[in-house]
Amino acid sequence: MAVAQQIPASFESAHVLVVGDVMLDRYWFGEVNRISPEAPVPVVRIEKREERLGGAANVARNIATLGGGAGLLGVVGDDEAGDVVDSLLTELGIDSFLTRDPAISTIIKLRVIGRQQQLLRIDFEEPPTDTVLRDKLTRYNTLLPQYNVIVLSDYAKGSLVNVTDMIAAGKSAGKCILVDPKGDDFSRYAGATILTPNKSELMRIVGSWKNEDELTTKAQNLRESLALEALLVTRSEEGMTLYTAQQVVHFPTMAREVFDVSGAGDTVIATMAVMLGAGFPIAEAVALANRAGGIVVGKLGTATVTHEELFA
């Protein structure tokens, strides 16, 4: 890849603050040899358990793995799962700015894996309390000067109810603001630098399209109406398309084998954040993010891409 020769040995100049819904991903791996006599479901005999950072924490994990400086601002419960999240952040050298909310439990996604396939996912989640969210916004404003890129990772779990204020503060401070959006109303993300919806998320906002020209028109209209510098639409097997005022660039998918798409969007936005934080143009950042996404879908569960894999 042409840009690889221009990439520095590390991304240490990228300092990225990730804000959003912090989760703990738990994986239970086991053997499936029979069907339950109680109901027509497989019986999984658990042999191994793994815990990984999820949601916004997975974005921070990807940034740290690539060699960027990462900080994570979010809310977890005052519980065992929150302790695990804190410990995993420490192991990766991620600056933790987590608030413990005793009124809630840490968001957990428990996946049961049998024969290398996901059989079941169980979610445990509660929205943070208003008091904690107000404190989080205050802390965000104090942290802004320490970072050159902000990633707002919205999983619609309640941690980003103040996203409009966060974007306004970041924009006033001259920060590059990347948003992974959710929901039916993107107006609250107005003023961000880059928005990264996937195809289905975009379709919920602008409606369906019949061809590339119609998609381009709808995407550019959305970008202009939200005052974005760029709109990056991730399109699964179709790759991804970048829309700016100056150009429309399509990046075909680079996935050799799709094994698991869990967390692929986290890897894409994390790679872009690190590249932009290191001073690279947006088109080059997206090209590398596309490559990273193609690598990570070949791995099981919420995974990361290393600097070495990205530039191999």
In whole angstroms, how far apart are CA 256 and each of 83, 100, 123, 252, 253? 37, 41, 30, 12, 9
Three-class secondary structure assignment of 98-139? EEEECCCCCEEEEEEEECCEEEEEEEECCCCCHHHHHHHHHH
SS3 33: strand
What is the total residue count of the chain?
Answer: 312
Per DSSP, the residues of 171-215 read HHTT-EEEEE--SS--GGGTT-SEE--BHHHHHHHH---SSHHHH
Instruction: Encode burial over 159-192: b for 16+ CB neighbours within 10 A, e otherwise.
Output: bbbbbeebbebbbeeebbbbbbbbeeebebbebb
User: Among 55, 176, 187, which residue's Cα sits nearest to residue 123?
Assistant: 55
The token pair at 10 is 């590390």
- List all residues 6 or more positions away from 301 whose beta carbon is below 8 Å from its beta carbon: 25, 27, 50, 52, 111, 113, 260, 262, 263
Q: Which positions are annotated as active-site residues?
A: 266
User: Among 221, 271, 225, which residue's Cα sits nearest to residue 251?
Assistant: 271
Look at the block and give the residue holding tokens 């890897």: 267
